[in-house]
A and B are shown apart, each in its own frame.
Chain A
Amino acid sequence: DVQLQESGPGLVKPSQSLSLTCTVTGYSITSDYAWNWIRQFPGNKLEWMGYISYSGSTSYNPSLKSRISITRDTSKNQFFLQLNSVTTEDTATYYCARSAGYLYYFDYWGQGTTLTVSS
Chain B
Amino acid sequence: DIVLTQSPASLAVSLGQRATISCRASESVDSYGNSFMHWYQQKPGQPPKLLIYRASNLESGIPARFSGSGSRTDFTLTINPVEADDVATYYCQQSNEDPYTFGGGTKLEIK
- Residues of chain A at the chain B interface (Cβ within 8 Å): 44-48, 59, 61-63, 95, 97, 99-100, 103-107, 109-112
For B50, the chain A residues whose CB sits under 8 A away are 105-107
Tell yes or no: B99 within 8 A of A by CB.
Answer: yes
> What is the minimal beta-carbon distance from B47 to any residue of chain A, in angstroms?
4
Contact of A63 among B34, B48, B95, B99 (CB under 8 A): B99
- Asked whether B36 lies within 8 Å of A59 as measured between CB atoms, the reply is no
- Asked whether A62 lies within 8 Å of B99 as measured between CB atoms, the reply is yes
Most buried by B among A63, A100, A103: A103
A-B contact count (CB 8 A): 52
Which 8 residue pairs of A and B lie closest in terms of their CB atoms, listed nearest first?
Answer: A104-B95, A109-B47, A46-B102, A105-B38, A61-B99, A48-B100, A105-B53, A107-B50
- Asked whether A103 lies within 8 Å of B36 as measured between CB atoms, the reply is yes
> What is the minimal beta-carbon distance from A83 to any residue of chain B, in angstroms?
15
Taking CB as reference atom, which chain A residue is nearest B59?
A107
Known contacts: A45-B104, A103-B53. The answer to whether A59 contacts B98 by CB under 8 A is yes
Since A46-B102, A112-B47 are in contact, a sample of 19 more A-B pairs with Cβ atoms closer than 8 Å, ordered by chain A residue number, is: A44-B104, A44-B105, A45-B102, A46-B93, A48-B99, A48-B101, A48-B102, A59-B98, A62-B99, A95-B47, A99-B95, A104-B36, A104-B95, A105-B38, A105-B50, A105-B54, A106-B48, A111-B46, A111-B47
For B36, the chain A residues whose CB sits under 8 A away are 103-104
For A97, the chain B residues whose CB sits under 8 A away are 47
Q: Which of B31-58 contact A (CB under 8 A)?
A: 34, 36, 38, 40, 46-50, 53-54
Taking CB as reference atom, which chain A residue is nearest B48?
A109
For A109, the chain B residues whose CB sits under 8 A away are 47-49
Query: CA A94 – CA B18 in complex, angstroms?
Result: 33
For A46, the chain B residues whose CB sits under 8 A away are 48, 91, 93, 102
Give me 8 A-to-B residue pairs in the complex whose CB atoms sit less than 8 angstroms apart, sorted by A's number. Answer: A45-B102, A46-B48, A46-B102, A97-B47, A106-B38, A106-B50, A109-B49, A111-B46
